[in-house]
Amino acid sequence: MFRARREHLRQAAIEPTEPRSLFSARALIQGILALSLVISVLGTNTASADSLRTAAAQALAAARTSMLQESAPHVDVIWGIQRILRLHADPELQQWVDAKAPLLANDPFYPAIAPAPLTPLPNDPGTGLVKFSNYVLASVGTPDSTAHDFLTAYFSTQEAGYVLTHQLLALGFAELVGRTLPTSLTDMRPQFLEQITTEHANDPIFSDLYAERAAFLLVFAEPDPIEVAGWIQIILDAQVADGDWGTLSWEATYDGETGEVTDNPRHTQFLAMVALTYYLDLPVVRVPLLNGPCVILLAVLLGITGLLSRKTRLPIVHRNQG
């Protein structure tokens, strides 16, 4: 009999004494709570993401139609459209490039868009903005010794704005023409990208430079898709009715000289097109949301679960150590 009594106490110490109905109710509430958490995490900003991509595709289509009307694009415009064609075949746009690129054969930067002899460089880079231009030209220039000297001097100073983005572009042009650069120069790429990323984050107002930073970061790096979506929204908000982004002048300062460029009306447009194309090529990213109804439901379920836990607390039963 004593052995049976001890067995009964031992079993009581293990099994809960709460009513089974309350225990089941609490388990049900906890299950619903867990399910709600899963739903809230899986619930995403699908409509917002899809609407942004739809708007980006429409803006790109309008810009493409507008660009096809351009009869005399600059070299940088052709370079940008070539970046787009590297991602997606577009026979009509390719035909446009094939027709317009040869018209630029006398441009010193022509080797960046078509197979051609490298451009002879001056012995002296000059001063001011002429020096800036010759330093960038060194990426597609000859002889190699002068090109390396110019690029070394160009990369030796920490710059900002267009001078900074063109430091990165110079590396890109050098790669396009198959130029082998010293690692002391190619190793500057991460620094340039980091500086451009910082500038871009601190300057969220649309401008030609904003479009250039966005385009270059997408071409030469792999930025966070969620951040890119923010850039694209700013670009979309700035597009005008005819599929263009207007004729935005841009200003650069180098070696003590400041100049404004106003003769390239397609500059902002091609940069925006590049950014839109690369954005649309990114995998779709869904951003988890906790919407209002989910928050209310979770709060109610948490409260009910807490009340049931207090009302059905298990009694403490001491084990018989004898």
Inter-axis angle of helices 267-281 and 75-87, nearest 10 = 10
Spell out the alpha helix ranges (H) of the chain. Answer: 2-14, 20-42, 46-67, 75-87, 91-100, 128-137, 144-155, 161-176, 183-186, 189-201, 208-220, 225-238, 267-281, 292-311
Enter the pTM of the model.
Answer: 0.77
Going by pLDDT thresholds of 50, 70 and 90, the confidence category of residue 247 is confident
Pairing state between β 141-142 and 119-120: parallel
Domain ranges of the chain: 46-281
Q: How long is the chain? A: 322
Q: What is the pLDDT of residues 86-134, one digit of tens each?
A: 999 999 999 999 999 999 999 999 999 999 999 999 999 999 999 999 9
What is the model's pLDDT at position 34?
52
What is the model's pLDDT at position 300?
56
Q: What is the pLDDT of residues 10-47, one digit of tens each?
A: 554 444 444 444 445 555 555 555 555 544 444 445 56
Which tokens go with 169? 């572009």
Q: What is the pLDDT of residues 282-296, one digit of tens each?
A: 988 655 444 555 545
HSE-up (13 A, CA, CB side) for residue 131: 15
